[in-house]
Structure 1
Amino acid sequence: MTIETQNKSIVLEAFDTLFNKRDYVAAEAYWSPAYIQRSALIAPGRQGLFDLIKSLPDTLTYEPGVIMAEGDKVMVHGRFSGNGQPAALIAVDIVRLENGILVEHWDVLQDEATTGSSASGLPMFGARFPDSVE
């Protein structure tokens, strides 16, 4: 198994543990205590990320889509729905790992387009527009 395959698996497990299961104790094993947060919307460190997730509705769901890895970096295109906002959030999260632990994060975020607002006529995530935003 390549390091890229291992890192993709770790990131998917980490995201599911934190965002979907909301298991903060288990999530600590995936995120470094010295985690570097480069998102402009999230407070510094691992605790900043955990506090943000704790502040969101229990209905929050994360769905991973396209995932790519190169060396110690993994990039995931995903959807955060049930976030208490009118539209789901489409995210590209980039994380850097060291020894199987997430140590650094960057993101690009955008509200999910509806059928009517998509200039291309195509959904931003998956094969169809979600019923919740049509």
Structure 2
Amino acid sequence: MTKTTPEQNKALVLEAFDTLFNKRDYDAAQRFWSERYIQHSAHIAPGRDGLFDLVRTLPATLRYENQLILAEGDYVIAHGRFSGHGRPAAWIAADVVRFEDGKLAEHWDVLQDEATQAESASGLPMFGDRFPGERTAA
């Protein structure tokens, strides 16, 4: 049984997400996800294959960016943005991952479309310090 620390788990989640969502390296991604992976998302088929198959159907422009990652014990919560998936708005996600034997063993998520400035009741961006489509100062 492999036991990882919360700091190792955070690094593993970031590397796993980059490998699967950004690099689309399915062979390498297998080393991060348990063969017994449990998927709790209503829109993703069960198991590691369900997740990998979903990613295969998404455009090659899919991109994951992380803003915040927290860990305690065997659990990690990653706050990030999924863009380039072919829908009008990026998804802002809180992904909760449980580790077992050094691999991602279970997953829950909360997703919502990223609000534009016109859509934001608070006037604050949901991710980072800018609204979608805003340019950075040169």
When the two structures are superposed, what TM-score results if normalisation uses the length of structure 2? 0.93
- Give the unaligned 5+ runs of structure 1: none
Give the CA RMSD over aligned residues.
1.1
- Give the unaligned 5+ runs of structure 2: none
- SS of 1:47 mapped into structure 2: helix
Paired residue for 2:41? 39
Distance in 2 of aligned mates of 1:33 and 1:121 = 43
Distance in 2 of aligned mates of 1:111 and 1:51 = 22
Correspondent of 1:63 among 56, 65, 89: 65
1:130 counterpart letter in structure 2 = P
- SS of 1:91 mapped into structure 2: strand
Distance in 1 of aligned mates of 2:102 and 2:129 = 32
Paired residue for 2:25? 23
Q: CA deviation at 1:98?
A: 1.2
Paired residue for 1:100? 102
Q: Which runs of 4+ in 1 moved over 6 A?
A: none
Q: CA deviation at 1:100?
A: 1.5
Residue deviations 1:105-131 (CA, integer Å, cap 9, x gap): 000000000010000000100111121
- SS of 1:78 mapped into structure 2: strand
2:111 counterpart letter in structure 1 = L
Q: CA deviation at 1:5?
A: 0.5
Q: CA deviation at 1:91?
A: 0.6
2:110 counterpart letter in structure 1 = V
Paired residue for 2:13? 11
The number of equivalent residue pairs is 131
1:100 counterpart letter in structure 2 = G
Distance in 1 of aligned mates of 2:65 and 2:133 = 15
Q: CA deviation at 1:79?
A: 0.2
